[in-house]
Amino acid sequence: DPIAMGILTKVYGFDERILVLAYAISMTAFVFIALAMQDAGAIAFGMVFCRYFLRLGNLALGESESLRMIRQREICDLLIGIAQDVGVDLDRSQIKAQWDNFISYPSHQDTIVMSLPFLTLLCAAVHCQEP
């Protein structure tokens, strides 16, 4: 979803669906206005207006960057503890570096390269009742 990946980077779940739906409805309204006025400029104005609307929605409804950073650090600390419990051959700095690479990897990519110990650590951290 290019809208969610490019503009709505901090909004998830219900709020994201509402903003995307409002975007689609607004763009449809501008298309009908352009057809009624027989002026293609209304579509261009609508695109600009709707993009700013999405950016404002991302700012107003999105989570703050500081909360995201705290959450990432907490998960990294948990992974370090799990690595010590499981016996994965990674030290604290390696886990932090690989976790930062994993988190910052673009989610629209379909493949990711990671080391086998880090993959083992992620598997140990995620519990599935039915694999």
Q: What pTM does this model have?
A: 0.58
Strand ranges, E, within the chain: none
The stretch 25-30 carries a mean pLDDT of 94
State the pLDDT at residue 112: 86
Contacts of 36 (CB under 8 A, 6+ apart): none
Q: Round to whole Å and give the CA distance between 97 and 102.
A: 9
Residue range 60-108, pLDDT digits in tens: 888 777 888 888 899 999 999 999 998 888 889 999 999 998 988 877 7
State the pLDDT at residue 81: 92
